[in-house]
Chain A
Amino acid sequence: KAGVTQTPRYLIKTRGQQVTLSCSPISGHRSVSWYQQTPGQGLQFLFEYFSETQRNKGNFPGRFSGRQFSNSRSEMNVSTLELGDSALYLCASSVTSGKIQETQYFGPGTRLLVL
Chain B
Amino acid sequence: DAKTTQPNSMESNEEEPVHLPCNHSTISGTDYIHWYRQLPSQGPEYVIHGLTSNVNNRMASLAIAEDRKSSTLILHRATLRDAAVYYCILRDSWETSGSRLTFGEGTQLTVNP
Near A by CB (< 8 A), chain B positions 1-50 give: 32, 36, 41-46, 49
Size bracket, chain A contacts: 20 to 34
A42 CB contact (under 8 Å) in B49, B100, B105: B105
Contact between chains at B105 and A45 (CB < 8 Å): no
| A contact face: mostly helix, strand, loop, or mixed | strand
Instruction: Return chain A residues, CB-CB under 8 Å to B104.
Output: 42
Known interface pairs A106-B43, A107-B43; A99-B98 also in contact (CB < 8 Å): no
> In whole Å, how far is B53's beta carbon from the nearest beta carbon of chain A?
13
Instruction: Return chain B residues, CB-CB under 8 Å to A42.
Output: 103-106
> In whole Å, how far is B3's beta carbon from the nearest beta carbon of chain A?
14
Any B CB within 8 A of the CB of A24: no
A42-B104, A45-B101 known, 16 other contacts, Cβ within 8 Å: A31-B99, A42-B105, A43-B101, A48-B98, A56-B98, A56-B100, A92-B44, A92-B101, A100-B94, A101-B32, A101-B91, A104-B36, A104-B44, A104-B99, A108-B43, A109-B42
